[in-house]
Amino acid sequence: MIPVTKPFLPPVEEFNAYVEDIWKRKWLTNMGPLASHLETKLKDYLNVRNLLFVTNGTIALQMAIKALNLSGEVITTPFSFVATTSSIVWEGCTPKFVDIDDNTLNIDSKKIEASITAKTSAILATHVYGNPCDVEEIERIARKYNLKVIFDGAHSFGVTVNGRSIFDYGDITTCSLHATKLYHSIEGGLLVAKSPDVLKKLSSMRNFGISGSESFTELGINGKNSEFHAAMGLANLPYVDQIYKQRKLLTECYNESLGPVNVFRPKWHAQSASNYAYYPLVFENEDVLLGVKAKLDKHEVFSRRYFYPSLASVLPYLKESPELPIADSISSRVLCLPLYFDLTVEEVKLISALIIKAINNI
């Protein structure tokens, strides 16, 4: 059986060394020394200044929306994980969907301005599969209309644009450190804020808005993470470059093995390098995709229709279902193949052979 993903785990003795220290201190949560140390290490690794380690990527999005005092409409993408949209709704705002670019699969920056109204307060765009959005154009539009910008960077750990961390763009960028991500802390998330004042507000919000033993600065939430999750983050961090290298090797093997196949791969940002977070293929039509998936399932090779369906057409708590032909088309044809550190070249070649055979038989 080949799963679609499998978490990377460091040598158990390295993780246990951190756990033994937790046992000695008996400081389990509430931003203990390991969580604080992880924040410092991640700032250095990612070359960013204003970073917080939080519970998960969804809480990070909700905190970002709250910290920027957003209201009314938030322009966003229908081609993302559900948390991107649900966080907007959860915080009392209305998602305003804009269709995606059919090459990058990110929100189409050329279509954003036409969707801006007097009610628009922000743009929340996802770096799909880690591939950077048109960050400079989105920021230009935001400045022109006095809007805030949040980037959902759940997939984009370690990505840079023009040598600058992708987390450095926008008013706030969020990231997920969930176990399925290429770098993880089992459960976890990151907030990176451009403004030190916004970071200070987020830091207070993370701990219920508490400012002293008997005082509060603002409305807060429990966004803290535990020492055990921080331990996994610290144990995994030294292996990130090795993880990139292995995932790059597997990606190149897929590319070579699937050379004859009539599929489309998303176009990566020209001033950026892939972090190899996912391996998505866009097939000619949904029938081909379903045939390929059935073939893989039969051989216990598990792929994922990620993202499917388009968020604009499926969420029961949305009042409108706008027509977004590109997102609808792509979501019906995209399939993510297995990609993780322990996957072997031989398995990639097997998966590729099954796909080729399935397509030839359709």
DSSP labels for 72-115?
Answer: SEEEE-SSS-HHHHHHHHHTT-EEEE-PBPTTT-SB-GGGTGGG
If asked whether residues 230 and 249 sit together in one domain, one would say no
Asked if 233 and 250 sit in the same domain, the reply is: no
- 257 and 234 within one domain: no
Tell me the C-alpha distance between 243 and 258, whole Å.
22
pLDDT for the residue 149 = 98
Quickly tell me which residue has 């977070």 as its tokens: 277
Residue 332 and residue 259 share a domain: yes
What is the pLDDT, as a whole number, of residue 212?
81
Total number of domains constituting the chain = 2
The distance of Cα 54 from the centroid of its chain, to the nearest Å, equals: 15
Q: Do 215 and 293 reside in the same domain of the chain?
A: no
> Which of 238, 264, 281 is where one domain is finished?
238
Range of the domain at 354: 240-360
pLDDT for 321: 80
pTM above 0.85, yes or no: yes
Question: Residue 136 maps to which CATH number?
Answer: 3.40.640.10
pLDDT in single tens digits along all 362 residues of the chain: 999 999 999 999 999 999 999 999 999 999 999 999 999 999 999 999 999 999 999 999 999 999 999 999 999 999 999 999 999 999 999 999 999 999 999 999 999 999 999 999 999 999 999 999 999 999 999 999 999 999 999 999 999 999 999 999 999 999 999 999 999 999 999 999 999 999 999 999 999 999 887 889 999 999 999 999 999 999 999 999 999 999 999 999 999 999 889 999 999 999 999 999 999 999 999 999 999 999 999 999 999 999 999 999 899 999 888 889 999 999 999 999 999 999 999 999 999 999 999 999 87
Q: Is residue 209 part of a domain?
A: yes
Task: Give the whole-angstrom CA distance, residue 5 versus residue 129.
Answer: 14
Specify whether 81 is located in the same domain as 22. yes
Q: What is the CATH number of the domain that holds 344?
A: 3.90.1150.10
